């Protein structure tokens, strides 16, 4: 049964080991328990029956379900849809206009209300995964002053999108972006535009957490595995995907927030809906953009959505007409 739940592939075993090694401590995920008439208050577990490690008892919060392993998040299932585009400009437009819809679709597909056999007061997997694969050190989490690390990083490498990519979307980038200035300058010097340079430089604030020994030495003029090593371990709600080396696949965007459903019919329905939505955005020049700060708050609200109910209030004071690149 364990093999049906957790894969034995070396990639995932190595990811787990490297996340913990880089973090220098166990992950600690506390999911609020759903409180009903029979729930003890406060809700507390005797962690000693699971482990003799005293850190578990110290990290576990009252009225929460405690999870202390990468597998609790990485073992969750999801529905991800990759859309082929005609060119880089179309890919950037779709990336931007689908980003504000990520929290909406996560809420519509939310299907993860139970962890460790307990009913929780959240109904999606998102925060659990984000915390379970959070490889940031204490310095990067701003728990200690920066001494050995380069950046204070606001959130886990599994999280929401931090910046738009298109010219139209750039005006809505209204939150500070952490990025590697040296990489940004290198890209600008090689004729990469500002928005794309910032996006890639932002990805590279993360260290690699997985590398196959046979892929260390590569011809970077003809292979992109070194880039994909960073790209594929930045688990954001949207992913901007470069063409494959052999040209079998072109510019693509990946829509990543949805949760897997119980039936093939439901999964197919959500997949088809996202594809049809991209056709509508492009055909009717729909403007789905909101300030990234509002989108971030919306994602936070949705990803932390309670089974009691969720609501998002956002009024657009200024509607800027959408013009494709």
pLDDT tens track for 8-18: 777 788 888 99
Q: What are phi and psi of 56, to 5 degrees?
A: -65, -50
Token readout for 217 is 């030495």
pLDDT tens track for 179-228: 999 999 999 999 999 999 999 999 999 999 888 777 788 887 788 888 99
Percentage, residues of the chain above pLDDT 90: 69
Q: What is the mean pLDDT of the chain?
A: 87
* pLDDT(253) > 90: yes
pLDDT value for 320: 40
* pLDDT(157) > 50: yes
pLDDT value for 321: 41
* pLDDT(325) > 50: no
pLDDT value for 10: 77
Domain assignment of residue 323, yes or no: no
Domain assignment of residue 58, yes or no: no
Provide mean pLDDT across the span 131-160.
Answer: 95
Provide mean pLDDT across the span 93-104.
Answer: 96
pLDDT value for 324: 43
Provide mean pLDDT across the span 231-260.
Answer: 93
Number of independent structural domains in the chain: 1
pLDDT value for 218: 83
Domain assignment of residue 262, yes or no: yes
Q: Pick the more confident residue, 285 or 55.
A: 285
Q: Which of 60-64, 149-153, 213-217, 269-273 has the lowest mean pLDDT?
A: 213-217
Provide mean pLDDT across the span 49-61.
Answer: 77
Query: CA 142, CA 162: separation in Å to the nearest integer?
Result: 19
Domain assignment of residue 22, yes or no: no
Provide mean pLDDT across the span 294-319.
Answer: 43
Token readout for 169 is 């979307």
Q: Is 238 exposed, middle or buried (0-12, 13-18, 19+ CB in 10 A)?
A: buried
How far is CA 195 from each of CA 170, 201, 295, 320, rounded to the nearest angstrom?
A: 7, 10, 18, 19
83, 253 contact by CB (below 8 A): yes
Provide mean pLDDT across the span 35-41.
Answer: 93
Domain assignment of residue 4, yes or no: no
* pLDDT(303) > 50: no
Q: Is 28 exposed, middle or buried (0-12, 13-18, 19+ CB in 10 A)?
A: middle
Domain assignment of residue 81, yes or no: yes
pLDDT value for 216: 81
Q: Which of 45-59, 60-74, 272-286 has the lowest mean pLDDT?
A: 45-59
Domain assignment of residue 311, yes or no: no
**Residue 198 domain boundaries:** 74-217+225-303
pLDDT value for 180: 97
Domain assignment of residue 174, yes or no: yes
How far is CA 175 from each of CA 8, 112, 254, 263, 302, rounded to the nearest angstrom?
A: 40, 30, 23, 39, 19
């Amino acid at each position: 049964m364990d093999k049906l739940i957790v894969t034995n592939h070396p990639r995932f075993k190595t990811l787990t080991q490297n996340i913990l090694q880089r973090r220098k401590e166990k992950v600690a995920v506390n999911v609020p328990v759903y409180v009903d008439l029979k729930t003890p208050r406060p809700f507390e577990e005797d962690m000693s029956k699971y482990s003799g490690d005293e850190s578990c008892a110290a990290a576990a919060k009252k009225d929460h379900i405690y999870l202390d392993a990468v597998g609790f998040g990485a073992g969750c299932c999801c529905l991800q849809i990759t859309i082929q585009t005609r060119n880089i400009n179309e890919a950037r437009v779709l990336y931007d206009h689908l980003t504000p819809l990520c929290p909406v679709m996560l809420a519509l597909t939310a299907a993860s209300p139970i962890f460790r056999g307990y009913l929780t007061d959240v109904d999606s997997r998102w925060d659990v995964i984000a915390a379970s694969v959070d490889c940031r050190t204490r310095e990067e989490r701003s728990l200690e002053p920066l001494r050995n690390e380069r950046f204070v990083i606001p959130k886990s490498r599994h999280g929401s999108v931090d910046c738009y990519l298109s010219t139209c979307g750039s005006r809505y980038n209204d939150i500070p972006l952490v990025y590697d200035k040296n990489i940004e300058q290198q890209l600008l010097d090689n004729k990469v535009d500002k928005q794309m340079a910032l996006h890639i430089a932002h990805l590279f604030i993360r260290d690699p957490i997985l590398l196959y020994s046979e892929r260390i030495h590569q011809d970077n003029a003809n292979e992109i595995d070194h880039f994909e090593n960073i790209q594929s371990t930045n688990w954001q709600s949207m992913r901007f995907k470069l063409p494959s080396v052999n040209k079998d696949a072109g510019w693509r965007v990946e829509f990543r927030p949805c949760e897997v459903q119980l039936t093939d019919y439901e999964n197919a329905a959500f997949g088809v809906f996202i594809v049809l939505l991209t056709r509508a955005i492009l055909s009717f020049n729909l403007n789905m953009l909101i300030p990234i700060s509002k989108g971030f708050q919306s994602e936070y609200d949705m990803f932390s959505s309670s089974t009691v109910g969720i609501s998002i209030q956002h009024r657009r004071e200024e509607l800027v007409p959408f013009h494709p690149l």
